[in-house]
Amino acid sequence: MLATEQSESRGRTRFILKKVLGSLLTLVFVLVFNFVLFRIVQSDPIGSLFRGRNVPAAKIADLRTAFGLDESLWVQFWAYVRQTFQLNFGISYQSRQPVWNEIVSAIPATVALVGISAVFSAVIGTIGGVIAAWRRNTWKDHAITSGTMVFYSMPDFWLGMILLVGFAVVLGWFPVGGMSDAGSTATGLALLLDRLHHIFLPALTLTLAYLGEYALVTRSSLLDVMGEDYLTVARAKGLRDVVVRNRHAVPNALLPVVTLTAINFGFVLSGAIAVEAVFSWPGLGKATADAIRGPDLPMLQGLFLLFSAAVIFFNLLADVAYAWLDPRVEGA
Amino acid sequence: MRRTVVFILFALFGAAIAPAAFAQEDAGVVLRIGLTQDWETLNPTAGFAVSEYEIWNVHYATLTDKAADDFAPIGGLAESWVASNDGLTYTYTLREGLKWSDGEPLTAEDVAWNVNTSRDQEWDNMLSTVINLDAKVIDDRTVEITSSVPDPKLPNMDIYLVPKHIWEPIATDYDATVEYEALDGVGSGPFVISEFTKGQSVVMVANPNYWGWEGETPPIDRVIFQTFANPDAMVAALQQGELDAIHGFPAGSAATLEADPNIEVVAGRQGGFDEIAINGGAVVGQPHPALLDLEVRRAVSFAIDKEAVIEDLWFGLAGPLETMSPGADEAKWIPEISADKAFTYDPDRANQILDDAGYLDTDGDGIREMPDGTNPIILRHAVNTDGDLAGPIGELFTGWMQAIGIGVELASYDQDALFGVIVEGDYDTFFWGWVPFVDPDPMLSYFTEAELESYNDANWTDPRFEELYLEQKVELDPQRRIDIVHEMLTILHDAAVYIPMYLGPDLQAYRTDTFEGWVRQPADVGPVMFSNSSPSYRLLRPVGSDAVGGSSDGTNWVLIGGLAALVVVGGALVVTRRKSTADDRE
Amino acid sequence: MTSLAMQRRRATAGRVLAQFRSSKPGVIGFSVLLLFVVIALAAPLLADVRELNPVFARASGNPQWASPGEFGALGTDHLRRSVWVQFVWGSRVSLFVGLAATILTISIGSVVGIVSGFVGGRLDAFLMRITEWFLVIPFLPLAIVLASILGRNVWNIILVIGVTSWPSTARLLRAQVLTVKQRLFVDRSRSLGAGNGHLVARHILPNVSGLILANATLAVPISILTETTLSFLGLGDPSSPSWGKTLEEAFVNGAMVRNAWWYFLPAGLGILVVVLAFTLIGRTLEEIADPRLGQSR
């Protein structure tokens, strides 16, 4: 008994360790990839840093040293890795501020918007999926399945444009963009209400856009589970339909949904680029859209690294969560 | 399951509504202004955008001010001045007890130091004003400014005076100066910079030491400038009362705004114009070789349909223009261009010019080649992503050029990147605009050799233009100076490197129910803000005696209503849910 | 032998076709798609391409911002251009980019997947490592970064989509190839001395082709949506107006505050309908290729 537990936990530790190592390797790959893109494909990184402004020669020489441009590629790469780990992504062309500062200041808005939407879409989508599976081939199933498919098939920003025209332009119920009233000085409750007022439409857009995936995954996962024996047994024991569903079927079917949620959280930071642009929501997505207009390459580079790191991290988290939740995973 | 969700929804919205105890804090009287341009820097020695000039207009008082009606020099920091008999020296007397916003005394030493330092250090934005000047402190309140040549601009002294006690340590080094962020918040105007968030806002607070308040409490506590990436959002914010005034809204929204009884629309003219510039190839980056031929540039000019732009993109709000206005007084500075020389839209004539000059489409692909049959004429047209007309103009330009067998490749840059591209000469054509100063000198200086690789965005020079530029600079007879300027502009026009499209008004709108006292500069035709010295800011008062400007709480009720509706729906769901459970039990 | 194989293949094709015909979603999707393909191919007959040129539109006296009742089927935009013409020609670019990018995606994915699954060993481990890496890199930001660096034209967009979206295809195909490889008849033919090329051509490809087709059909929507998003963010080809570019221009030029719904609804609906059509076809093909999916989903 004791021995089994030990070996089980050892297997699990090994599994997690392997996943951590894999993630680190992926991170290294992203770094190399980024380096190739921005230092090799893009010629003259220093020149593009100043875009034609008169810059003293001494300063250019300093930067060449800092970037290691006169050294071998290996030295350059090493300098780049060092800078990256010091969170030094260079200076944004557009704001003249360190890219890292710009990114950090945009994170909360995105986390709030996409976080709220992710939670709502996961919850509502899962419920929808459960209903659809449980009432398979009824009108409820068809309505939910086709409805979510439609939302899933449209460009999310287009949905945003329609909601914006309908609810903000025509009806005037919501503001047409931004995170707060222009020049608002509100505090406390007024501030909170102001934020809610502004976040409503973009959050609704993203929630509707993400719903479909959760509903479809939940539905098919639940249908798989429902075919399994123990449910028949549970039903045979005379348990009510709802109890069977909520106590037995759903929890088992939710495993892939949990994984999906964790993975989707990795995409949270990068998930709303075009939608943030439509609603002028001042988060990472709008920062990306603005950087494209520049083009502000250091900013794009920094954002890309951050987005990738977030995905890698949450994938790892999903794996670890899976290892804890699913007893079948053992040192695989 | 669903019950849990409904509960979570309840909790969320409950949390949003519960802390009702925190009432909205009294933020004082706030004037909120929206604009679509961003700020690059608030450093008056480094920036060049209209948005930046407006902040400086408010933050820095100048030695002499400009009358709202006609730009005539009036008292600013100086209450009076006298000219010497030869007209070369002016002695200014400062007002009594002047102070910077941080309480340091503002003296003649500050004025003299600014004039002499900006001249010696060649600060770009001040240089054309101070290049021939020398300033001497007589006493704390008296400064003497002498010009080495006759100077038609004097006694006007409108350079932004930066606080010597802050700037002196960095002013010895040009690079350190232009890289300074200038967020020290020390100024001498009605409001001073308190916060700057690039891409979002500049917050300015009342400066109790501003001489123009005349010892009274400033009627406005704060001015917030908010920039909008989306001009439509800005228009909506004004309509919903989130803003008190907006600058630079899209012409297409004018009719909607005019229909609003609480909004006044102003199409302010102050010489502002937009142009399509052709790379003249004077230095550095070279254009397509065809553009070095005057005939090709003339053909391009004839193929541009300015009327279409005025009608379709400005809805008739802009005025026709053949050559630029170098100063704010359009009637005074714009020369008459004879009909036979004017580039009136005529694609047939443009085609004829190109045919005659030997630029033929030899391979039949619809695009002309150089006379030797090589190198098809494809122009790299730069689109400024910060301007709302640059996109449509890019589409139109492509169409115009297509009609005369010239190809166009569009490349997009934001304003700052475009500046870099222009300085490097890495373009063939672009569309951008200027708002000139009162005096034509700076605008004219941009087409001289000294400004190549900087403000000379035609990348073009001309020896005669150069001569005339120096002549007008020292011409004291006003009519004679106007004639010289007219001749210069005719030369520039005939070279077909800079094609002014129209006299574009500043489209502004303000709410009439929050603040009053907006003044147009110049009188009757000018804008109410973003003008040469922007006098509105010190004259504005909240409407009614104890009105607290700007903020409106109305919108929140919509949300509260919406939340209440959601709660009701949520409650209904719970009830239905209970009912169906009960059904199950039976 | 050859004729027998051909007969067998023809029979399989007939069975697939029959199965497809009996699936309502599949038929609907196919009909809708056919309609759009016809529109795209017949664009020169349906709409005068010169109408895309604002100078021509003005010269022909089109009104500005006209609603569908006032001008043509779908009204006009801020530059007097007919929205119908933009819709028709936009379908061409959107479908072309979607299909071309998919071909690239599927080619890369298939080669990697088949090689990886068939050869196995170290090469497999190496290829799968790379596949996993690409799978992890967030797709849209990568596409944005690549498009920003490479520049704005149709071929770059196709390249960007192809390069960023192949990994899932590769993984799926590898799994399928492994299954096929396990099957006895592969071993038998190998023992009879068949070469690797023969194995892949005769046994692997026929068995994974259905999956490749289903996967390709499901990859098109992703390609189209990606092109749309890239165009909307200003990375589209300025000289090839796709549906995404129409949406961008409508957004930038104030169609929304004007409530000029006719400017941005058609392009978005076009995308929605085409994406749905491809999804329906893809799912039907998937069910046919992998009958296990058929029953419950």
Give the position of tokens 């803000």: B529
Mean pLDDT of C27-46: 91
Q: Give CA–CA dist B32/B220, Å, rounded.
A: 11
* pLDDT band, very low/low/confident/very high, at A82 (cuts 50, 70, 90): confident
At residue B225, the pLDDT reads 93
At residue A160, the pLDDT reads 93
A48: Cα separation from own chain's centroid: 30
Q: How far apart are the first and last CA of chain A?
A: 21
At residue C168, the pLDDT reads 85
Can you list the alpha helix ranges (DSSP code H) found in chain A? 2-35, 45-50, 57-67, 73-85, 99-134, 139-153, 156-163, 188-226, 229-236, 241-243, 250-266, 273-278, 284-293, 297-325
Mean pLDDT of B302-329: 91
* pLDDT band, very low/low/confident/very high, at A7 (cuts 50, 70, 90): low
pLDDT at A107 over 60: yes
Q: Which of C56, C234, C257 sits opposite B235 (nearest CB)?
A: C257
The residue among A23 and A5 whose pLDDT is bigger is A23
* pLDDT band, very low/low/confident/very high, at B556 (cuts 50, 70, 90): very low
Provide, rounded to the nearest whole percent, the portion of chain C with pLDDT above 70: 90
Q: Give CA–CA dist C289/B116, Å, rounded.
A: 83
pLDDT in tens, B275-291: 999 998 887 778 899 99
- Bridge pairing between strands B506-511 and B245-247: antiparallel
At residue B276, the pLDDT reads 94
B232 touches chain C (CB under 8 A): yes
**How far B24 CA sits from the closest chain A CA (Å)?**
6
At residue B335, the pLDDT reads 92
C78 touches chain B (CB under 8 A): yes
Q: Which of C256, C259, C276 sits opposite A150 (nearest CB)?
A: C276
Mean pLDDT of the residues in chain C: 84
A205 touches chain C (CB under 8 A): no
Mean pLDDT of A175-201: 78
Q: Give CA–CA dist A87/A306, Å, rounded.
A: 10
pLDDT at B377 over 50: yes
pLDDT in tens, B25-45: 456 899 999 998 888 889 998
The residue among B545 and C135 whose pLDDT is bigger is C135
Q: Which long-range contacts (CB under 8 A, 24 or more apart) does A69-73 make?
A: A69/A45
Mean pLDDT of B67-81: 89
pLDDT at A44 over 80: no
Q: Is B103 exposed, middle or buried (0-12, 13-18, 19+ CB in 10 A)?
A: exposed
The verdict on a CB contact (< 8 Å) between B402 and C55 is yes
Q: Give CA–CA dist B540/B226, Å, rounded.
A: 18
pLDDT at B80 over 80: yes
Q: Which range has the worst mean pLDDT, B109-118, B418-427, B541-550? A: B541-550
- Bridge pairing between strands B515-516 and B541-542: antiparallel
Q: Give CA–CA dist B405/B508, Å, rounded.
A: 39
Q: Which of B175, B553, B584 sits opposite A56 (nearest CB)?
A: B175
B11 touches chain A (CB under 8 A): no
**How far C75 CA sits from the closest chain A CA (Å)?**
18
Mean pLDDT of B188-196: 93
The verdict on a CB contact (< 8 Å) between B400 and C55 is yes
Amino acid at B89: T
* Backbone dihedral angles phi then psi of residue C51, each to the nearest 5 degrees: -65, -15
The verdict on a CB contact (< 8 Å) between A188 and B175 is no
Chains that touch A (3 or more CB pairs under 8 A): B, C
* pLDDT band, very low/low/confident/very high, at A25 (cuts 50, 70, 90): confident
Contact between C256 and A161 under an 8 Å Cβ cutoff? The reply is yes
The residue among C132 and B274 whose pLDDT is bigger is B274
Within 10 Å of residue A119's Cβ, how many Cβ atoms?
Answer: 16
Q: Give CA–CA dist A311/C140, Å, rounded.
A: 12
Q: Give CA–CA dist B276/B501, Å, rounded.
A: 7
Contact between B540 and B520 under an 8 Å Cβ cutoff? The reply is no
B407 touches chain C (CB under 8 A): no
At residue B546, the pLDDT reads 47
Instruction: Please list the residues that pair with B225 across neighbouring strands.
Output: B33, B202
Highest-scoring range by mean pLDDT, A260-274, B297-311, B318-332, C281-295: B297-311
The verdict on a CB contact (< 8 Å) between C80 and B250 is no
Measured between beta carbons, which residues in chain B are less than 8 angstroms from residue C56?
399
* pLDDT band, very low/low/confident/very high, at B519 (cuts 50, 70, 90): very high
* pLDDT band, very low/low/confident/very high, at B583 (cuts 50, 70, 90): very low
At residue A213, the pLDDT reads 83
Provide, rounded to the nearest whole percent, the portion of chain B with pLDDT above 90: 48
At residue B304, the pLDDT reads 95
CA-based nearest residue in chain B for residue C63:
B312
Structure tokens at C274: 């085409």
At residue B406, the pLDDT reads 95
Q: Which of B27, B198, B584 sits opposite A95 (nearest CB)?
A: B198
At residue B531, the pLDDT reads 87
Measured between beta carbons, which residues in chain A are less than 8 angstroms from residue B1?
127, 130, 246, 250
Q: Which range has the worst mean pLDDT, A226-230, B2-6, B327-331, B474-478? A: B2-6
pLDDT at C104 over 50: yes
What totals of helices (H) and strands (E) does chain C contain, helices first? 15, 0
Superfamily of C31-62+69-292 according to CATH: MetI-like (1.10.3720.10)
CA-based nearest residue in chain C for residue A166:
C259
Cβ–Cβ pairs < 8 A, chains A and B? 153
Mean pLDDT of A285-298: 86
Q: Which of C80, C252, C256 sits opposite B391 (nearest CB)?
A: C252
A151 touches chain C (CB under 8 A): no
* pLDDT band, very low/low/confident/very high, at B16 (cuts 50, 70, 90): very low
Q: Give CA–CA dist A41/A33, Å, rounded.
A: 11
pLDDT at B19 over 60: no
Q: Give CA–CA dist B486/B5, Å, rounded.
A: 75
Mean pLDDT of B139-158: 89
C140 touches chain A (CB under 8 A): yes
Superfamily of A2-41+87-325 according to CATH: MetI-like (1.10.3720.10)
**How far B223 CA sits from the closest chain C CA (Å)?**
27
* Domain ranges within chain C, ordered by starting residue: 31-62+69-292
What is the model's pTM? 0.82
Mean pLDDT of B414-431: 85
Residue C228: name the closest of A196, B69, A158 by CA.
Answer: A158
Q: How far is CA B232 from CA A177, B432, B512, B523, C253, in A?
A: 9, 21, 20, 29, 9
Q: Give CA–CA dist C82/C76, Å, rounded.
A: 4
Q: Each residue of B142-158: b (16+ CB within 10 Å) or e?
A: bbbbbbeeebbbbbbbb
Q: Give CA–CA dist C57/B550, Å, rounded.
A: 44
pLDDT at B89 over 70: yes
Instruction: Please list the residues that pair with B80 across neighbouring strands.
Output: B93
Q: Give CA–CA dist B379/B393, Å, rounded.
A: 14
Within 10 Å of residue C129's Cβ, how many Cβ atoms?
Answer: 13
ipTM of predicted assembly, 2 dp: 0.87
B20: Cα separation from own chain's centroid: 42
At residue A235, the pLDDT reads 64
Mean pLDDT of A182-208: 82
Q: Give CA–CA dist C270/C264, Å, rounded.
A: 10
The residue among B560 and B318 whose pLDDT is bigger is B318
Mean pLDDT of the residues in chain B: 85
